Amino acid sequence: MLGKLKKTLNHLFVPQESNNFRGQYLHHDFLTTVIAVMLIVNVGLKLLVKNYDSNILGVAFNITAEELLNATNAERLKYDLPPLQSNDLLMQAASAKANDVFTKNYWAHYAPDGTSPWFFFQQAGYQYVFAGENLAKDFTDSQSVVNAWMNSPTHRDNILKADYQDIGFAIMEGTLQDQPTVLVVQLFGRQEGAVLAEEKPMARYQEPVPAKTVKVAKASPKPVVKTQTAVKKQPLINILSLQKELLLVVLAGLIIVLSLDLYFVEKKKLFRLSGKSLAHLMFTLLLILSIITTSSGVIL
Amino acid sequence: MITEIKQHKYEYSILFLYTILSVVMFLGYQQNWQRFIVIILYSGFYFSWSLIHHLINKNLTLIVLLEYLLITILALVSLKVIFFPNL
């Protein structure tokens, strides 16, 4: 049994006579099969998620308003900025915005009918003089959302703007443009007449963004909006990580076979008419770097 | 490997330099679409480099071409999983 396994692994990874001195893993038929399996798994998982219980198979999420607030304020503290206060009106406004995004099925700051982000502030009764909005979707945890915003200059400007005093979040699950999505809305604001508790000089953050000063419109009657401040879901099988893990296994196999190929070709002075393993290896390493360092979410 | 690199030092120097440049750009860019473009450009470079390398050495065959094509397709499938997992 063990001998058979060793023989199979050697055939798969080590250049020898049985595989024409090129690991079977690098043969066309094997690579084609791997690609086909990956595509079938990708499509199959999507179909299974659509048709079966999401508690068993689905995408795991753990995003809460509390964690987002803490992560946002932690970033502000690094720049000696006062922490933002969670505001109920902004929470309602953020939920109304999230509802609007799902209802009208758009991924933008402005709705297709022209509704601006500022409409939701006014609708909730938040009389702002400064206002801002950050959006995110498809992230799986709170910290990666804030990290992505901090890595984008415009979103970062919002998070680090000294003029803001209040903050509100909505985290909502729904279907957006035919895709199951977890949407995060982050609203910033400062109310008319509000005085900042502590206006510290901006020690390291030297370029404050010109603030949008808005003429305050008369607030329309407040709608009844149920605020949603957390999406926590832990299905038995997380399809996002399952796909990434499968891909990592495939690419790790490729790294092993290419490394062994380089070693044995040099050691045994083999001459073959084939692709260059070193070029394949560098490309595969770049792909592994992509998997490890890239998160799937999108910000706006 | 060392013999191969010594024999084709200019070709491998270009490959190494562009790989290093791609890694630096990839880590430097933080937006997914920017990173996606870096990898797509690298895929194009990898495929072109391979074609030119084998053409120069007069050993470009259909079998060799198919090998690079399959690795490129595998990379594109990987990019879909990495950057667009929900599509």
Are A101 and A158 in the same domain?
Answer: yes
ipTM: 0.94
User: What whole-number distance in Å separates Cα of residue A32 and Cα of residue A170?
Assistant: 44
Identify the closest residue of chain B to A296 by CA–CA distance.
B83
- Does the pLDDT of residue B81 top 90, yes or no? no
- Does the pLDDT of residue B68 top 90, yes or no? yes
Pairing of strands A237-238, A57-58: parallel
Helix, strand, coil fractions of chain B, as percent rounded to 5:
85, 0, 15
Tokens 């020898």 sit on residue: A16
| Beta-ladder partners of A73 | none
How distant is the Cα of A196 from the closest Cα of chain B, in angstroms?
A: 32
In a domain, A286, yes or no: yes
Contact flag B1-A283 (C-beta cutoff 8 Å): no
What does DSSP assign to residue B10? H
**CA torsion B22→B27→B28→B34, rounded to 10°?**
70
Letter string b/e over residues A130-160, b meaning 16 or more CB atoms within 10 A of that residue's CB: bbbbbbbbbbbbbbbbbbbbbebeebbbbbb
pLDDT at A230: 67
- H helices then E strands: how many in chain A? 9, 9
Are A177 and A271 in the same domain?
Answer: no
Instruction: Give the residue from A249, A260, A286, A298 with the most B CB atoms within 10 Å of its CB, the best one to mutate.
Output: A286
Instruction: Give the residue from B1, B21, B52, B60 with the most A CB atoms within 10 Å of its CB, the best one to mutate.
Output: B1
- Would you tell me which residues 43-82 of chain B have a C-beta closer than 8 angstroms to some C-beta of chain A? 43, 46, 49-50, 53, 59, 61, 63-64, 66-68, 70-71, 73-75, 77-82
Are A278 and A165 in the same domain?
Answer: no
User: What whole-number distance in Å separates Cα of residue A150 and Cα of residue A144?
Assistant: 10
Contact flag B1-A181 (C-beta cutoff 8 Å): no
Number of domains in chain A: 2
The residue range of the domain holding A157 is 65-191
In a domain, A74, yes or no: yes
User: What whole-number distance in Å separates Cα of residue A220 and Cα of residue A165?
Assistant: 23
Q: Which residues of chain A have pLDDT under 50?
A: 197-221, 223
CATH of the domain at A146: 3.40.33.10
- Would you tell me which residues 5-34 of chain B have a C-beta closer than 8 angstroms to some C-beta of chain A? 5, 12, 15-16, 19, 22-23, 26-27, 30-32
pLDDT at B86: 63
> pLDDT tens, B42-60?
999 999 999 999 999 898 9
Task: Supply A96's token pair.
Answer: 């109304």
pLDDT at A217: 44
Are A133 and A42 in the same domain?
Answer: no
Are A170 and A74 in the same domain?
Answer: yes
Whether the pTM exceeds 0.80: the reply is no
